[in-house]
Amino acid sequence: MVWELTFALETFIKLPEVELPALEPGTTPPKAAALLRRCWDLGEGPLRHLVATAESRGVVVVVRPLGEIDSVDAFSVVILDRPIIVTTPRRSENVFRHRFSIAHEIGHLLLHRDLGEHGVAVEREADEFAAAFLTPATAMDAALPQRLDLAALDRLGRTWGVSPHSLIRRMVERGRTTESSARRAYQRLAMVDDPLADPTSAYSGEVPTLLRKAAELAADHGGGVPALAEVLKISSGQVRDLLGDADQRPVLRLV
């Protein structure tokens, strides 16, 4: 339904062109991450607005409740060359988890688009891509502390938009610490974790806006919500729901 809405919008307006590089067979996740950074002209520094950046390159991103499908946190698909990423509210409650999930799905779009297979190895590759894309190895070699320092990792994580857990994993991968030390650090993090300290408000560019802005522009060219509903053969309320518009009607409560 998200793709059908996207397709309907494109009958009224032109969405951003898709910019995802084609990979040679056997391309490793870190190399794919580096290629995408070059393709998107991102340099080696922190990627402050991941979702907004992906949307500006033609990737449709939506946050949707998946109802009874509790085992799925996010997924991605390409339909008629339009990449779509769907993530759930529970993956978006923490901005670091949200960003990693989006980067993970971008990894699937690049690495596994034509595979049609799932499994631990595929998911591990997407995780490896996400880590390399959000925190490039060269930059991390210069930025990571020489020893495990949770306060330093927290500060660094807020600069790069990733969790301290992710940076601990990067320290293991870059040879800065051992697996046993990392496990102890994870335990310490679990003891001091404060869910109220989630810095989501500092990352406004992680809220999807492409479809909503497209609908606003389409409305100026004959593609308002009623017209979209007619094309899709669904109700106007369903169109607004797909666009992420909250229902503004007052609620009648019977007691």
pLDDT for 67: 66
- Quick one: pLDDT at residue 128? 96
pLDDT per residue over 174-184, tens digit each? 999 999 999 99
Prediction pTM value:
0.89
The domain made up of 2-135 has a fold known as: Arc Repressor Mutant, subunit A (1.10.10)
Whether 182 contacts 172, CB under 8 Å? yes
Mean pLDDT over residues 18-40, rounded? Answer: 95
- All structural domains of the chain with their residue ranges: 2-135
**pLDDT averaged over the chain?**
88
The confidence score (pLDDT) of residue 145 equals 93
Q: Does residue 55 register a pLDDT over 90?
A: yes
pLDDT beyond 70 at 69: no
Residue 73: pLDDT band with limits 50, 70, 90: confident
**pLDDT at residue number 70:** 64
Return the percentage of the chain with pLDDT > 70, whole number.
88
